[in-house]
Amino acid sequence: MPVHPIEFRYRYPEMYAVFTEEAKLQSWLDVEVALAWAHAELGTIPKAAAKEIERKARVGVVKVERVKEIEEKTRHDLLAMVYALQEVCEGDAGGYIHLGATSYDTEDTALALQLRKAMDIIEGDLKALLKVLLDKAVEHRETVCIGRTHGQHALPMTYGLKFALWASEVGRHLDRLAETRKRIEVGKMSGAVGTMASFGGKGFEVQRLTMKRLRLEPALITNQIIQRDRHAELQCLLALIAGTMDKVGRELRNLQRTEIAEISEPVRSPSSTMPQKLNPSNTERICGLARVIRGSVNASLESIALEHERDISNSGMERINIPEGLILTDYILRQMTGIVKGLSFDADNIERNLNMTLGLILTERVMIELVSKGVGRQEGHELMRRLALKAWEEKRPLRQVMEEDEEATRLVTPAEMDEWLDPHTYIGTSVEQVDRAVAELKKKLQ
């Protein structure tokens, strides 16, 4: 029976398939095939042997179950794969498998193959989310709502501005992913401790030809392993993506609070005991899983400092950390895309909240307009502070209090009050900012 919830709950099949035992074994076999052909091209082994190794290096011919049986005896999973492949190869081909390589020549290079597929999926996820965020930004470019700072009503803004802001962050993640790929899609063939001594003077060519076949960059220099700063960078990227999903999820959750109720995610969960309740469980789940993804960073950073030319303390952690981080990141990105796409908006509640403070959110505007009429900034600020305090204490609209104040009526005409106290006309360059951001970010979808 499965134990980890990834096995039955928090995953999508495409990413999960990248990290199955079968997929890992096939990646190992692909590396062994590439190594055999490199040797064949250099005349180190017969081409017929490389052809036979390629014919048999397939999951199904080399079975996961058989590799595990052999591992029970060898206590070494990579060596067990080599023996299992050798068993099915005809003639003397099996004797040329893994020639000159150390375990992590195969394992780290194979991991790069898996990570390339995983990053392809993450890139697709980010672009899909970016598209729906841009669609929402355009749809709500002029939907005026209250902006909040420190949990308090601040100034009017638009929902389009929120979505465009989130889209810009997703765009930066795409940029970071493109940079990270350069340092992740790298393989090695350098033998034990990295000297290439086992390749008899042909080490650079063995490595170059092997990586050419696998479409990976040859590492510039290694010891027995690919250095773990590369993998830590990927985990940090996943944590940054998770941070954005946490931020968006938290905002969407808060906007669904009973006392705010401006939006609703497409599917909400009922309470087991309170019939009236519908809970934002999907966004809550995203926020919770984001903590798991972020929590993996420290272990990855710790694995940079391996001892001497290598130790195995990174191995067990990475078997958990790397698949878990990528599977969960894929999951929360796809979940968020569906949530954002299906959001519904309550126009009445948006308008209610916009006017909840009885016009006090426009005091900054009135002060600035007064300055443009020749009133000193501090004088205007003190006037509006006094009137705002009175309006709040008496629970009356700011407009009423201004109309009763001698100083205010001397400085502000009724027509100016109509304009200055309309929150829909004090959104600055919100619409223009959305349009500029959308135009720029759409280039990342091409």
Instruction: Tell me whether residue 300 is one of the annotated catalytic residues.
Output: no
Question: Over pLDDT 90: what percentage of the chain?
Answer: 92
Q: Which pLDDT value is given to residue 421? A: 95
Q: Which pLDDT value is given to residue 272? A: 63
Q: Which pLDDT value is given to residue 185? A: 98
Instruction: Tell me whether residue 264 is one of the annotated catalytic residues.
Output: no
- Whether the per-residue pLDDT at 196 is higher than 90: the answer is yes
User: Average pLDDT of 222-230?
Assistant: 95
Q: What is the pLDDT of residues 268-321, one digit of tens each?
A: 666 666 656 578 889 999 999 999 999 999 999 999 999 999 998 898 889 999
Pairwise CA distance, residues 376 & 14, whole Å: 63
- Whether the per-residue pLDDT at 156 is higher than 90: the answer is yes
* pTM score, whole prediction: 0.94
* Among 126, 118, 123, 121, CA closest to 166: 126
Residue 367 tokens, joined: 């002060």
Pairwise CA distance, residues 217 & 295, whole Å: 30
Q: What is the pLDDT of residues 390-411, one digit of tens each?
A: 999 999 999 999 999 999 999 9
Q: Which pLDDT value is given to residue 1? A: 81
Pairwise CA distance, residues 239 & 291, whole Å: 9
User: Average pLDDT of 130-138?
Assistant: 98
Domains of the chain: 13-99 (1.10.275.10), 112-186+226-351+440-446 (1.20.200.10), 352-438 (1.10.40.30)
Question: Phi first, then psi: what are they for 157, rounded to 5°?
Answer: -150, -165
Q: What is the pLDDT of residues 69-101, one digit of tens each?
A: 999 999 999 999 999 999 999 999 999 999 999
CA trace torsion 347, 349, 350, 351 (10° rounding)? 90
| Catalytic, out of 150, 308, 344, 372 | 150
pLDDT confidence bin for 133, thresholds 50/70/90 = very high
Q: Which pLDDT value is given to residue 281? A: 87
| Catalytic, out of 4, 76, 269, 271 | 271
Give the relative orientation of helices 103-139 and 229-255 as an angle to the nearest 10 degrees. Answer: 30
* Among 304, 30, 38, 26, CA closest to 189: 38
